[in-house]
Amino acid sequence: MNKLRYVSAAALAMAIAVSSGSAAGQAEDRLAQGIEAHNAGLAGDSAKIDEALKLLGPEGWDRPPLALAYHGSAVTLEASLAKKAGKLIKALTLIGEGTKEIDSAATLDPGNIALRLLRIENSVALVEASPVNRKPQASGDIACLRTRWPELKPEEKAVVDLDSGRLALADRRLGEAMASWRASIRDAPDSDAAARARKLLARYGD
């Protein structure tokens, strides 16, 4: 569960449609800080995870759906720490709580590409690292984004193709997985997703 990767905090904050004004600017800053803390917590830094949970929590602002989704993802990072500590029931409970928040956010803002990408990455990571079946959510979001392919930036396309391959690998469809990873590299050769795709191709024999 600590293998999650996401687009930069600044890029994701820009994905939120906010009106001008100091309150909106403060909300955008808080979201960016929360995502930054979340991403710093991907390596298992409990202090950063706690910071993300506080910044992305509901208190003190009109929380946008993307913040709710990232809060849910931070809860699943808490689950990873619980799993490492041998607290498996707690880990599963936290996964349930976190994914519920992510799914609620997707219902509130189904057109948000950044939110869809987050749920794909989170769901695929859970498929790889836990007994929780999030394949339907990941597959559904991938299918949704493919219908909007012209709208996606190259880096976003690279994430979709990378995670399509990871899902294929989870289903033991190695040839399909490798084709998806090659597509990820073509989408955005210099992106983080492409770098991860190259590592997977090297690992599995390309």
Note whether 157 and 166 are within 8 A (CB): no
**Assigned domain for 145 exists:** no
For residue 19, the model assigns a pLDDT of: 37
Say if 197 falls within a structural domain: no
Range of the domain at 60: 9-109
Whether 150 is covered by a domain: the verdict is no
The tens place of each residue's pLDDT in the chain, 206 residues long, gives: 444 455 544 445 444 444 344 667 888 999 999 999 999 999 889 999 999 999 999 998 999 999 999 999 999 999 999 999 999 999 999 999 999 999 999 999 999 999 999 999 999 999 999 999 999 999 999 999 999 999 999 999 999 999 999 999 999 999 999 999 999 999 999 999 999 999 999 999 76
167 lies in some domain: no
Judging by beta carbons within 10 Å of its beta carbon (0-12, 13-18, 19+), is residue 186 exposed, middle or buried?
middle
166 and 124 in contact (C-beta within 8 Å)? Answer: yes
Whether 123 is covered by a domain: the verdict is no
Q: From CA 178, how far away is CA 199, in angstroms rounded?
A: 11
**Number of structural domains, the chain?**
1
Residue 133 belongs to a domain:
no
pTM for the model stands at 0.88
Q: What is the pLDDT of residue 20?
A: 40
